[in-house]
A and B are shown apart, each in its own frame.
Chain A
Amino acid sequence: AQTVTQSQPEMSVQEAETVTLSCTYDTSESDYYLFWYKQPPSRQMILVIRQEAYKQQNATENRFSVNFQKAAKSFSLKISDSQLGDAAMYFCAYRSASDNDMRFGAGTRLTVKP
């Protein structure tokens, strides 16, 4: 069974600084997708970034980038120039290319200090 582990229940960053959120996963599949979702206090799930496992290049979306290490089964999220609006729960998620469901980690609560 695929599992997703986020080992940091809480993280804190100073505004304008950079923070990295960790995620590891366990799978025997070779073709899959990885996602980072942001859940602000409104509880809306917002897709931040996605990575296809077959792509070696790390995905980037503006201030958000990932460090995808397939062999190590690691998928960390880097937030540069942190803003107050980045404060939220961040969930790492995995989906096999042959499965219907997504597996989520337990989440990391990010606090941004002014």
Chain B
Amino acid sequence: NAGVMQNPRHLVRRRGQEARLRCSPMKGHSHVYWYRQLPEEGLKFMVYLQKENIIDESGMPKERFSAEFPKEGPSILRIQQVVRGDSAAYFCASSARIYYEQYFGPGTRLTVT
């Protein structure tokens, strides 16, 4: 059973460009969570999605950030007009049911130059 997959593993963007981060949950998991980790810090919750629905986006910045989890395909975290402060590792996690433990992907390291 493959684990949570994230791609790309590393992404470099210039200021003002768009970044798209993909997450494929574990097989059988329909709950996806996105977290951001700044250097030397713990992970911070951003958004929780189920198929086709955003359930909780309380940790998501109000502007430039969006997330989706379509019926088919991976979950996408989209950052428009990236700035240097967006440089971080972005982790996706999935769970089989709400409140079950979350399994993490390897993360995408975003660098904004």
Contacts and interface: CB of A to CB of B under 8 A. Distances in A.
Nearest to B106: A44
B69 interface: no
B44 interface: yes
A100 B106 CA distance: 21
Contacts of B104: 37, 44-47
Interface stretch (A56-64, A65-73, A102-110): A102-110
Interface of A: 4, 33, 35, 37, 42-47, 50, 91, 93, 95, 97, 100-107
Contacts of B109: 43
Contacts of B41: 106-107
28 contacts: A4-B42, A35-B101, A37-B104, A42-B106, A43-B109, A45-B43, A45-B93, A45-B104, A45-B107, A50-B101, A91-B42, A91-B43, A93-B42, A95-B99, A97-B99, A100-B33, A100-B55, A100-B56, A101-B45, A101-B56, A101-B58, A102-B43, A102-B45, A102-B102, A104-B44, A106-B41, A107-B41, A107-B42
Interface of B: 33, 35, 40-45, 48, 55-56, 58-59, 89, 91, 93, 98-99, 101-104, 106-107, 109
Contacts of A37: 104
Contacts of B89: 43
Contacts of B103: 47
A104 B48 contact: no
Contacts of B45: 100-103
A63 to B, nearest CB: 20
Nearest to A6: B42
Contact of A44 (B48, B58, B107): B107
Contacts of A103: 45
Q: Which 4 A-B pairs have the closest CB atoms?
A: A104-B42, A101-B45, A45-B104, A100-B48
A45 B91 contact: yes
